[in-house]
Structure 1
Amino acid sequence: MTQPPPPPPNQPPQQGGFGPPQPSQPPQTSPPAQTPPPPPAQQPQTPPAPQPPAPQPGYGYPQAPQPPQPPQGYGYPGQQPNPYAQPQAPYTQQPTAYGQPGYGYPGQPTMPMHPQAGQPGGGRKVNSSVVIIVSALVAVALIIGGGIWYAKSGGDDSGKKDTASSGGGTGGKDDKGGGTGGTSTGGKEKVPADTAAEQLFKVPLPKANDTVSTAGSWITDKVYAKSGIAQIVGYDPAKGTKLWTIKLPGPVCAATNHVTSDGRTAITFQPKTPAKGSSAGCSQIAAIDLDAGKKLWTKSVDSGDYPISFENVTVAQNTVAVGSTSGGAAFDIASGKVLWRPKSTDTCYDAGYGGGEKLVAVRKCGQYDNRQLHIQTIDPKSGKVISEYKMAEGIEYASVVSTDPLVVAADVGDSAGDGSGISDYFSIDNKTGKLRTRISAPGDSFGGRCDGITRVEYCKELVVGNDTLYVPTEEHDGTGQYSRTNEIVAFNLGTGKQTGQRADAGDGYTITPLRMDGGNLLAYKRPPYDKGGQIVSVAGGSFKETKLLENPATESVRDAETNMLPEYAEILYSQGHLYMSAIYADDKSGSSSSEEDLVVAFGTKN
């Protein structure tokens, strides 16, 4: 049975109030906790997921302590040690084009990948005849579920609302990049006459009697929608007034960021609100019409005596796909009709899927600690395997960063050392299944994170577009006293080499990639203690930055904004509107001296 990871805090650690840092208190840093890896076992259902690393000092706030861990509760059973937190192997930084080593510019060579690309199939068969769909809402105590989705994102291709081409950041709508190797094309996001934003509305964080998932947020031309406690609410994008509410019997477990061209998406949720400290399993799958504000259908998938709990859900074209160690299924998003089911064998199963314009499965074969992962591009309607790439044996987990172009992230040999789940990226040809290139991304130099343990399609702070991978560097000292900053760098997905382009955050700011907008990259700049955050557009060709929005610098607004850490919060930007939202509520919600928010929305005046 799978155990989802405990959620990170909604807000950063206390920073000692606003105002300039005190010279007598230099910033302190703490190395990530090092815990032993989980003991080997014979084919467990899913090893415990790592906890997210605590936010490091920065953003103009020295002496940031480690954030408190939230209590365990339904949706988050079994808080586990971090299996990724291994000692980091020494890394020799080489001189770079920027004149000095470090800060994410090691100039390392691309490492060769020795496994051969396999033939389509890989033991994967589609069984469309034996399908049992259980419509009743069943609570099974043996199922340990309650997964949580950390929003990621991208924009959509060909003017659709889907988010296929850029996986990893958080975002709204987008156009097809259209360029290769950094060639930019026009985006839809326009530069306003006045980039100064105002706070449009806030939604208070609901009170809960336990730790509850509020994962999932989406934006269309008509609505901004956000999960609450056992419900999804649609808001007017500018005014924040409620347009509709979809009540659910239990909390949302997982949500895909992908939205079809007609405003449909999918979630999984618990069949009831369980008792404190327990879980009812994430057995319910639903399609949501965001524009209409209604639940189209609810399904569950039976595996013998009980319904399967799903922490992986995605949408590819008009197909909803769910996968787990116990089985999976694919449904038509409009009708809920079963399209196909992957057939598990004694040694192989579809762990989960990445969606968007294409559908990609991560199929696991072999025994635990001797696994081989098959990365399969699949026809969404039939389940037929189009191409397959076999990763090296021993790589236990992989995450789908993007399906088109296909990019997969993995922590090879548990070498990342920082809990990010990423040591290498694999650029794969969708048509042939052959490896294009492998990109080494040491955790001490580059940011971004993925969780391939329980959620195949969870990656944060990473964006793919223009046949390029955009990655933030780790924070480093800025030019000001106690200031921190970072950059976004680009890797060509054909050669695996850095393009030499760099988007600087600016002193005191840290920059996070969100999604593509045509051939341009949208990014969020988290501010220093005395500024408001910004949204910028980075031209794909020149890497020139253009500011689209800047939040107010008043203390109350800064307080609300800085509670939403980019590492964990869901951040969406579209048409001059910025939405930042929390991914969980707990029994401490609303009990602190400062108000906590489920949603904070900002917008320019024109």
Structure 2
Amino acid sequence: MLFQIPSPEVTDNVNTLGSWLTDKAYVKSGVAEIVGYDPDKGTELWTIKLPGPVCEATPHTTADDRTAILFEPAMPTKAEPSHGCSQIAAIDLDAGKKLWTKTVNSGDEPITFDNITVSAHTAALGSTDGGAAFDIDSGKLLWQPKAADTCYDAGYGGGEKLVAVRKCGEYDDRRLGIQTIDPASGKVISEYKMAKGIEYASVVSTNPLVVAADVGDNAGDGSGISDFFSIDDRTGQLRTRISAPGDEYAARCEGVNRVEYCKGLVVGNDRLYVPTEEHDGTEAGSRTNEIVAFDLATGKPTGQRADAGDGYAIFPLRMDGGNLIAYKRPPWDKGAQIVSIDGSGFKETKLLENPATEAVHTAEQSMAPDYAEILYSQGHLYMSRVHAGKALTGSGDKEDLAIALATGG
């Protein structure tokens, strides 16, 4: 264990969304602040104070480690539990500086946004009340989606490309357009129109373009996913559709408000990597699962499987070139692992194994991978919570906001 960042004491649940890793700092949202920590020691390098809690963040950054966040203009109170997600700021994660703060008005009132993302040097924001895109360096307004009677950009997926989920029509007669957009001008490059009746969609990846949705009879298990849509972003044509019922696969997306928020999914090598739901292992009483791969050109399973092993549960985190990085949640008597899975042969290589001590287990237990933010790089594992909560009365246990572990040597 390198360090533990204690959870701030609060009287109610407060959002602490957002964590990033640069060559210079591990950066984490706290309660109404963003803090940069020394990646090895955990000492505070810098703090950016905010008037209210961070309500939305994106994992995406520019090539020079800049990102954007949404935050509330004031702290929640009993009388007003939310002040609306109306404040936009750009953050330089290396320098520890807030570059600018903006709001966007609809009439006399500031727009409350649902989500934010970053692509190239553009910060894009969407909501039912309107959207906007800013140059992340200067804060200049680059473009706003065209206002229309029954159409709006519900949100954006960022990263290598910028993708909008555009909603048209009234509820129960909805039509979603998945648009690849030029981040600098807002010009639509291509559009795929989803079938009528699909109310929500989540952007899993922008390059290659993959979208998840709950469709028809398969919907309703709470994961937000019944099918994946692999789309050609140049033409807007559907490449293939992959059925992934929620009772079989453990990934989830929150496409109702947060278009970009998906957990337990990774896209790479023109494949979709997704974990299965847990099932009985070979040993009595044990549970386990696997990561399986689907071909984004054909929609068919590739036959590749990475087994977690008895008592472990495996979750994909990100790509590392052609290899997949995954986290393995351990049984009670073992330490969690980070493994690299070879993209062609699916051979598993252990990169890190945490101590199997009670202290580490207790710290990790509140960092469930389907909710927590998990970052791994260069033998360093960072896990953090997305809420700071009121401690259980009388429990005496101090909760962590974030923990960092690393390989020895």
TM range (shorter): over 0.9
Take 2:114 and 2:175, find their aligned partners in 1: how far apart are those partners?
Answer: 21
Per the TM alignment, residue 414 of structure 1 is displaced from its structure 2 partner at its CA by 5.8
Structure 1 counterpart of 2:144: 341
Per the TM alignment, residue 399 of structure 1 is displaced from its structure 2 partner at its CA by 0.2
Per the TM alignment, residue 415 of structure 1 is displaced from its structure 2 partner at its CA by 2.1
What does the per-residue CA deviation read over 1:407-438, in whole Å, with 9 as the maximum and x for residues that have no partner?
Answer: 00000026233200000000000100000000
Structure 1 counterpart of 2:219: 416
Does residue 464 of structure 1 match 2:262? no
Structure 2 counterpart of 1:563: 366
Matched AA of 1:318: H
Unaligned runs of 5+ in 2: none
Preserved CA contact (<8 Å) 2:201 2:212: yes
Take 1:425 and 1:382, find their aligned partners in 2: how far apart are those partners?
Answer: 28
Question: SS of the residue aligned with 1:556?
Answer: helix
Structure 1 counterpart of 2:3: 201
Structure 1 counterpart of 2:104: 301
Matched AA of 2:107: G
The structure number with the bigger radius of gyration is 1
Does residue 212 of structure 1 match 2:21? no
Take 1:232 and 1:264, find their aligned partners in 2: how far apart are those partners?
Answer: 13
Per the TM alignment, residue 311 of structure 1 is displaced from its structure 2 partner at its CA by 2.1
Per the TM alignment, residue 589 of structure 1 is displaced from its structure 2 partner at its CA by 6.3
1:160-559 equivalence runs, <5 A: 199-276=1-78, 278-413=81-216, 415-559=218-362
Structure 2 counterpart of 1:585: 388
Question: Which deviates the most, 369-378 or 269-278?
Answer: 269-278
Unaligned runs of 5+ in 1: 1-198
Take 1:593 and 1:530, find their aligned partners in 2: how far apart are those partners?
Answer: 24
- What's the TM-score, normalizing by structure 1? 0.67
Take 2:146 and 2:357, find their aligned partners in 1: how far apart are those partners?
Answer: 56
Preserved CA contact (<8 Å) 1:256 1:265: yes
Question: SS of the residue aligned with 1:565?
Answer: coil
Matched AA of 2:290: E
What does the per-residue CA deviation read over 1:340-395, in whole Å, with 9 as the maximum and x for residues that have no partner?
Answer: 01112111000000001100000000110110000000000000000000000000
1:154-165 equivalence runs, <5 A: none
- 1:362–1:334 CA distance, 2 compared to 1 (3 A): same
Preserved CA contact (<8 Å) 2:391 2:398: no
What does the per-residue CA deviation read over 1:267-300, in whole Å, with 9 as the maximum and x for residues that have no partner?
Answer: 0000011213611101000100000001000001
Per the TM alignment, residue 587 of structure 1 is displaced from its structure 2 partner at its CA by 2.7
Does residue 603 of structure 1 match 2:406? yes
Take 2:335 and 2:219, find their aligned partners in 1: how far apart are those partners?
Answer: 32
Matched AA of 1:350: D
Per the TM alignment, residue 444 of structure 1 is displaced from its structure 2 partner at its CA by 1.4
More strand by share: 2
Per the TM alignment, residue 586 of structure 1 is displaced from its structure 2 partner at its CA by 2.3
What does the per-residue CA deviation read over 1:135-164, in whole Å, with 9 as the maximum and x for residues that have no partner?
Answer: xxxxxxxxxxxxxxxxxxxxxxxxxxxxxx
- What's the TM-score, normalizing by structure 2? 0.98
Take 1:591 and 1:333, find their aligned partners in 2: how far apart are those partners?
Answer: 45
Matched AA of 1:578: L
Take 1:479 and 1:357, find their aligned partners in 2: how far apart are those partners?
Answer: 41
Matched AA of 1:293: G
What does the per-residue CA deviation read over 1:169-215, in whole Å, with 9 as the maximum and x for residues that have no partner?
Answer: xxxxxxxxxxxxxxxxxxxxxxxxxxxxxx00001111112210011
Question: Which deviates the most, 271-280 or 351-360?
Answer: 271-280
Preserved CA contact (<8 Å) 1:490 1:502: yes
Provide the alpha-carbon RMSD of the alignment: 1.0
Matched AA of 1:305: D
Matched AA of 1:240: G
Per the TM alignment, residue 591 of structure 1 is displaced from its structure 2 partner at its CA by 5.6
